[in-house]
Amino acid sequence: MPCRPRGRWGRGEEGMDSYRCTLCGYVYFPAIGDTDHGVKPGTAFDDLPETWKCPRCGAPKSRFKKV
Ligand SMILES: [Zn+2]
Protein backbone atom coordinates (compact mmCIF):
# COMPACT_ATOMS: atom_id res chain seq x y z
CA MET A 1 0.00 0.00 0.00
CA PRO A 2 1.25 3.47 -0.82
CA CYS A 3 2.01 5.40 2.33
CA ARG A 4 0.48 8.59 1.06
CA PRO A 5 -2.98 9.39 -0.24
CA ARG A 6 -3.73 8.55 -3.81
CA GLY A 7 -6.82 8.69 -5.88
CA ARG A 8 -6.82 12.46 -6.19
CA TRP A 9 -8.06 11.87 -9.71
CA GLY A 10 -10.12 8.87 -8.74
CA ARG A 11 -7.70 6.47 -10.38
CA GLY A 12 -5.09 5.46 -7.85
CA GLU A 13 -2.65 4.09 -10.40
CA GLU A 14 1.01 3.66 -9.63
CA GLY A 15 3.38 5.83 -11.59
CA MET A 16 0.88 8.64 -11.99
CA ASP A 17 2.70 11.17 -9.86
CA SER A 18 2.69 14.84 -10.65
CA TYR A 19 6.02 16.54 -11.37
CA ARG A 20 6.93 20.17 -10.93
CA CYS A 21 9.38 22.14 -13.03
CA THR A 22 12.06 23.42 -10.69
CA LEU A 23 12.69 26.41 -12.92
CA CYS A 24 9.26 27.91 -13.45
CA GLY A 25 6.91 25.99 -11.18
CA TYR A 26 4.84 24.41 -13.94
CA VAL A 27 3.27 21.16 -12.74
CA TYR A 28 2.77 18.20 -15.06
CA PHE A 29 -0.37 16.25 -14.16
CA PRO A 30 -0.43 12.77 -15.75
CA ALA A 31 -4.22 12.77 -15.68
CA ILE A 32 -4.23 15.90 -17.82
CA GLY A 33 -1.18 15.34 -19.96
CA ASP A 34 0.09 18.08 -22.25
CA THR A 35 -2.35 18.03 -25.11
CA ASP A 36 -0.84 21.15 -26.66
CA HIS A 37 2.26 19.07 -27.33
CA GLY A 38 0.70 15.77 -28.27
CA VAL A 39 0.80 14.17 -24.82
CA LYS A 40 -2.45 12.40 -24.10
CA PRO A 41 -4.18 12.56 -20.72
CA GLY A 42 -3.17 9.55 -18.66
CA THR A 43 0.49 9.65 -19.71
CA ALA A 44 2.80 9.10 -16.74
CA PHE A 45 5.74 11.46 -16.45
CA ASP A 46 8.10 8.51 -16.90
CA ASP A 47 6.42 7.73 -20.20
CA LEU A 48 6.98 11.17 -21.65
CA PRO A 49 9.47 11.16 -24.52
CA GLU A 50 12.98 12.29 -23.63
CA THR A 51 12.47 15.14 -26.07
CA TRP A 52 9.56 16.49 -24.03
CA LYS A 53 10.25 19.83 -22.43
CA CYS A 54 8.47 22.06 -19.98
CA PRO A 55 5.75 23.75 -22.05
CA ARG A 56 6.21 26.96 -20.11
CA CYS A 57 9.99 27.47 -19.94
CA GLY A 58 11.50 24.71 -22.08
CA ALA A 59 13.33 22.96 -19.24
CA PRO A 60 14.24 19.30 -19.90
CA LYS A 61 12.63 16.43 -17.98
CA SER A 62 15.68 16.21 -15.73
CA ARG A 63 14.72 19.56 -14.23
CA PHE A 64 11.43 18.21 -12.94
CA LYS A 65 10.90 16.88 -9.45
CA LYS A 66 8.16 14.69 -8.11
CA VAL A 67 5.54 16.70 -6.25
ZN1 LIG B 1 9.35 25.14 -16.57
pLDDT digits (tens, 9 = 90+) for 6-53: 555 555 556 699 999 999 999 999 999 999 999 999 999 999 999 999
Predicted pLDDT of residue 8: 52
How far, in Å, is the centroid of ligand 1 from the Cα of 62?
A: 11
The SS3 of residue 37 is helix
The dihedral region occupied by 57, where left means phi > 0, alpha psi between -120 and 50, and beta the remainder, is: alpha
More confident residue, 5 or 22: 22
Residue 56 clears pLDDT 90, i.e. is over it: yes
How far, in Å, is the centroid of ligand 1 from the Cα of 58?
A: 6
